Amino acid sequence: MDDRCLIAAGVVACCGRTVSASQDKISSWQAAERMQLIHSLMLLVVPSLPRPHLTGWLALSGISIFSGSVYLLVLLPAGHPLRKVLGPSTPIGGLLLTAAWGSILLGE
């Protein structure tokens, strides 16, 4: 198991939760981490863009919604009521990230 997953499992365990580290959950967590890292690096160029507020808002919102929903889906137990909201919100975060990249490419 990856060290980052062990750290996350330790944090969750301190809160009194149990973590089932299935391969699917580990893969989902790692995908969310990767997306967060890549798009956080994108935020470094945002101040030099023509419309930094728009691109920054799209990127930050997309990162928060996409990665945040995946993290919570991994951590929340099956049957938790928030899972019904989080699953459909993940693609919304992806759309916001796509719009941020579009904003960069179009120079808008």
d(CA 108, CA 103): 5
Q: Write down the pLDDT at residue 58.
A: 96
Largest CA distance in the chain: 47
* Structural tokens at position 39: 């798009």
Question: For the whole model, what pTM was predicted?
Answer: 0.75
Q: For residue range 18-57, what is the model confidence (pLDDT) as tens digits?
A: 555 788 899 999 999 999 999 999 999 999 988 899 999 9
* Structural tokens at position 88: 């459909």
Burial of 54 (0-12, 13-18, 19+ CB in 10 A): middle
d(CA 40, CA 34): 10
